[in-house]
Structure 1
Amino acid sequence: MAIGERNKGGRRADNVPDGSIPFAVRVKAWWEGVNPRHLMGVGRGMGERADVVGPPPREPEETGRWTASRRSFCQRLWGEDENDEVVRPGGSQYSLELAKPMGLDSTKSAIDLAAGLGGGTRRLASALDLWIVGYESDAELAGHAMELSRRHGQERRAPIHALDEETFDLPEKSVDGILMRERFNRIRNKPKLLDTAFNALRPRGHLIITDFVLRDEAALADPLVTRWLKFDAQRAPGGLESTLWTMADLKRELLSKRLDLRIYEDESEKYSSMLRAGWARFADGLDKSEMTKTFGRMMLSEAEYWLLLGNALDSGALRYVRAHAIRGGETL
């Protein structure tokens, strides 16, 4: 709808006061890149004012980075449904999609080096009848993930452990597949971790990594990248800022391990679309009764983080790549 055009209710969209625009509309417009006034009147109830029903109930205090409220919020934002226990875009379905080319089944074993809340790890175990061990670099999140594996009776088939990169090690030639989603950027000693992963692969074993990288060295100075990095450090365990390699750095390091690099693709556009799809779905499902102060603060914090990341990706300075490598026959 063009500026000044009337919406379905007959009011001029550009005359809608800012204070009357529901938060659901604001979030949806934010991620669609349009003026929120243009969405007023589109969709049932989106232009309605919230009724005043008295003061909100007192909210319980929570501590830690990964409170129950935040875990629930992220599951709702990124999960396919309420049972999808994930905290990042794509949900457990994307983990399954990434892992399929590895040809994993009940006769094989695997490692998930970025388990998150464990939803993707457990889905791989269930869908592929697989024995898989998950590791998560955020110890607090790893604890919640392991509790969920116990609750689902998957503490042996899909256990989740904290990944301490200083002490992390794996037995040589012990697994058939390793998956690491969007967490390599948080690793300080990247070559060491790649060595550990390579040595753990059996001959013809698969390594799949998705991660954020710089377009080139100059991209590190891009203001959109630096803003995202600073915000990312505030959310990271210990406040450590991510260290980004360039696209060329990661490719060169994978090839140096004598890995057969089958796929190395820039999938920034796909990741950006997953971001927007998650937020659009979330905004469509918002209800006025949920708008407590705690919920609102959490929503704004999450929205700011993912918006900064999305802007950096859209600028081209930050890239999202998928790498699929196989340990070659010379390692028999």
Structure 2
Amino acid sequence: MSIADDSQRKTKAGGKLPLGLRLKAWWDGYDLEVHRRLAAGDPTPGHEVRYERERLAWETPRIDLAQQLWGEGFNSPGEADQTRALIKPVGLNESMSVLEIGSGLGGSARLIAQEFGSWVTALEPNPGLAQAAAALSEKAGLARKAAVTACDIENLEVKRAGYDCILVRQALFGVENKLGALSAIAEGLKAKGQLIITDFVKGETAGPIYERWRNAEATAAQPWRAEDYSETLKELGLDLRVAADVTAQYREALVEGWSGFMADVGKQQLDAEQGQIVKEEAELWTLRKAALDAGELKLYRFHALSTRANKLLSDW
């Protein structure tokens, strides 16, 4: 019996579908309305006494959901494995400095600090995520070595020649002033510094699914095409070594995260607010997946090197 058939049977019997089952049905393609798990007056399951500590300001249901989907301290698909793969060619060590832009919950910044020993400065445009990331870095004892602060991505300021490696993670697709941001980033590289960018780009055709995704992202800015990034990085004097479509890997991690969550969601005690947030996030990620599947949206990786030479004393 399908979920839809089972739903009809229980509804006719006068039963109330648990919120977890409603969400699972919705994920599988059935449009079921999300209701409160326990209506007023419903008996509480069990009589055990539970103690819940006071939640901190940054511990929101949406941040909790992100970590359930993508892992503790992360907020995007496959972020930990992707970070290791992106950073491996750089050859980081304890003497090198890293700037991460679009650091989210700071999981990648802490991973780099812990596994490579490098000092990481992390910038996140979303103030709520930045606050949560800073708290998680402090909790991990990495408040200084993986520091996370909020930034104004439209008016980005980067320390000139300050970093051996700059990592930019899905941070520019919704930015109006992409050229200004990339110029500041290029100036932030040390001599022989390396720049790694992953970002959403327009596919060959941008149809209705793409427009629905853009509306859901609530951004007025248009993502660039992959060619726009390649040309701009070269115009900024960088040596572009890699421009690769990594959509398939990203999509695989996206599906894996959501499928794992939906397989267990029926076991969770979700209230109405949590259920609504799950549904909103699932709708956004479903649109993103649809745009990726249609080829109207892609994720690209760019790896470029600074061509700036070290200045000798005789040059001054």
- TM-score tier, shorter chain, comes to 0.7 to 0.9
**2:190 counterpart SS class:** strand
Which of 113, 124, 128 is 2:112 aligned to?
124
Counterpart residue number, 2:183: 195
The range that moved more, 292-301 or 224-233, is 292-301
Aligned to 2:245: 266
Match of 1:74, as an amino acid?
Answer: A
| Inter-CA distance 289–191: structure 2 relative to 1 (3 Å threshold) | closer
Are 1:56 and 1:292, in contact at CA under 8 Å, matched by a contact in 2?
no
Structure 2 residue corresponding to 1:300, chosen from 274, 279, 282: 279
Residue 7 of structure 2 aligns with an amino acid whose one-letter code is D
Q: 1:69 to 1:51 in 2, by over 3 A?
A: closer
Residue 90 (1) aligns with residue 82 (2): no
| RMSD, matched Cα | 2.8
Percent identity of the aligned residues? 29
How far residue 292 of structure 1 moved from its aligned partner, in angstroms, is 2.2
- CA-to-aligned-CA distance 1:161-207 (integer Å, 9 cap, x gap): 11113553222221100111111112221111111111111122111
Q: Which moved more, 1:272-281 or 1:285-294?
A: 285-294
The question of 1:99 aligning with 2:87 is answered: yes
TM-score computed with the length of structure 1 as normaliser = 0.78
Q: How many residues align?
A: 286
Aligned partner of 1:69 in structure 2 is 61
Query: 5 Å matches for 1:136-215?
Result: 136-165=124-153, 167-215=155-203
Amino acid at match of 1:226: E
2:1 counterpart of 1:16:
no
Long gaps (5+) in structure 2:
11-16, 32-36, 46-54, 312-316
Question: Structure 1 pair 56/246, CA: closer, same or farther in 2 (3 Å)?
Answer: farther
Give the structure-2-normalised TM-score: 0.82
CA contact (8 A) 1:204 1:326 kept: yes
Tell whether the 8 Å contact from 1:108 to 1:131 is kept in structure 2 after alignment. yes
Is 2:201–2:298's contact at 8 Å kept on the other side of the alignment? yes
Conserved in 1, the CA contact under 8 Å of 2:27 and 2:282?
no
Return the letter of the residue paired with 2:216. Answer: F
Helix, strand or coil at the partner of 1:17: helix
Q: Which moved more, 1:320-329 or 1:272-281?
A: 320-329
**Contact 1:174 1:201 (8 Å CA) reproduced:** yes
Return closer, same or farther for 1:107/1:287 CA change in 2, 3 Å cut-off.
same
**Is the partner of 1:184 in helix, strand or coil?**
coil
Flag the 1:168–1:14 CA change in 2: closer, same or farther, 3 A: closer
**Residues 106-131 of structure 1, C-alpha deviations (whole Å, 9 max, x = no match):** 01000010110111111111111110
Deviation readout 1:57-85 (Å, 9 max, x if unpaired): 9xxxx999x75211111100111xxxx21
For 1:103 and 1:152, locate their aligned partners in 2 and report how far apart those are by CA, in whole Å: 24
CA distance in 1 between counterparts of 2:175 and 2:56 reads 26
Distance of 1:111 and 1:289 partners within structure 2? 37
Distance in 2, Cα, partners of 1:194 & 1:264? 16
Cα distance between partner residues in 2 of 1:173 and 1:316:
37
Relative to structure 1, the CA distance from residue 206 to residue 300 in structure 2 (aligned partners, 3 Å threshold; closer, same or farther) is: same
The question of whether the paired residues in 2 share the 8 Å contact of 1:121 and 1:134 is answered with yes
- Contact preservation (8 Å) 1:28, 1:279: no
Task: Answer whether contact 2:155 2:180 (CA < 8 A) is retained.
Answer: no
Match of 2:241, SS state, is strand
Offset at 1:26? Answer: 2.6
Q: What does the per-residue CA deviation read over 1:71-106, in whole Å, with 9 as the maximum and x for residues that have no partner?
A: 111100111xxxx21111113332222222211110
Is there any run of 5+ residues in structure 1 with no aligned partner, and where?
1-11, 37-49, 234-239
Cα distance between partner residues in 1 of 2:128 and 2:116: 27
In structure 2, the partner of 1:231 is 216
C-alpha displacement of 1:15: 7.7
RCO greater where, 1 or 2, for CA within 8 Å and sep 6 or more? Answer: 2
Q: For 2:63, what is the secondary structure of its paired residue?
A: helix
Query: Which letter maps to 2:211?
Result: T
Deviates more, 1:243-252 or 1:158-167: 158-167
Instruction: Note closer, same or farther for the CA distance 1:328–1:297 as it changes in structure 2 (3 Å cut).
Output: same
Equivalents in 2 of 1:15, 1:304: separation in Å?
Answer: 19
